[in-house]
Structure 1
Amino acid sequence: MPVELTATEALSLWRRVSLEQVKRDTRDLTLRQMSILLHIYLVPPPHTVRGLAATLGVTKPVITRALDTMGALGLVDRQRDEGDRRNVVIKRTVAGALYLEKLGDLIIQEGRRTGS
């Protein structure tokens, strides 16, 4: 059964989740980095820099900078594609999966507050 929210309720949920995420986790991801991370974890692989750039409508250097940050945080990993050395394949990590699992739990928790 779909959850029905008004625009104000949806924005309030987003605000509460964002605020709690900032309080709980020091990794301060940009909206672009979060979009990339969610895509990597929710859309079946493989994921490449070229493919992510096309999906988000940005350049490869923009994706590379975002992946540099997320890689330093342990949320993703990059490897050269052995089949085509020009491609860089983006890999999921345990730390990234745990980060998003906690975020999902937080969204559920705050979403329940909206419905009550």
Structure 2
Amino acid sequence: MPVTLRPGQALGLWREVTLAQVVDDAPDLTIRQLAILLTVYLEPPPHTIRGLAARLQVTKPVITRALDTMGAMKLVARHRDEADKRNVLVRRTVEGSLFVEKIGDTIIAKARELPT
């Protein structure tokens, strides 16, 4: 069933979810990092730096810097592609899966709190 929100409601929901992340002391990701993370977790693998850069319309160094940060937080992992050593594959982690799932749960909970 589709959800219909007015722009103010949508922004309020986004704010509430963001505030919940701050209160929960969740990893502090930039919007770009969050977009990369959600792409890795919501779109089917494999994910490469080149592919992520194309998908998000940014340069490969932008993806690499974001992955460095998220890798340090254990939200993603990088491995050399055994089939093509030139490629680096970006993989999901248990920590990252739990983080993304919690964001989804928070969105659902906050959406239920919206006035009808």
TM-score range, shorter chain: over 0.9
TM-score normalised over the length of structure 2: 0.97
> What is aligned with 2:60?
60
Secondary structure at the counterpart of residue 14 of structure 1: helix
Aligned partners of 2:89, 2:6: CA distance in 1, in Å?
39
Give 1:90's aligned residue.
90
Q: 2: CA distance between counterparts of 1:29 and 1:39?
A: 14
Corresponding residue number in structure 2 for 1:9: 9
Report deviation, 1:25.
Answer: 2.4
CA distance in 2, matches of 1:107, 1:3: 13
Gaps of 5+ in 2: none
Deviation at 1:23, TM superposition (A): 1.1
- Name the CA distance, whole Å, in 2 between partners of 1:13 and 1:91: 29
1:52-99 per-residue CA deviation (whole Å, 9 max, x = no partner) reads 000011110000000000000000000001111111000100000000
Distance 1:61 1:95 in 2: 24
Give the equivalent residue in structure 2 for 1:51.
51
Q: How many residues align?
A: 116
Determine if the alignment matches structure 1 residue 108 to structure 2 residue 108: yes
C-alpha distance in structure 1 between counterparts of 2:103 and 2:77, whole Å: 20
CA distance in 2, matches of 1:79, 1:68: 13
Moved segments of 4+, more than 4 Å: none
The secondary structure found in structure 2 opposite 1:101 is helix
Aligned alpha-carbon RMSD (Å): 0.9
TM (norm. structure 1) is 0.97
**SS of corresponding position for 1:108:** helix
1:115 CA drift (Å): 4.4
Identical pairs, percent:
62
Displacement of 1:26 in angstroms is 3.9
Residue 37 of structure 2 aligns with which residue?
37
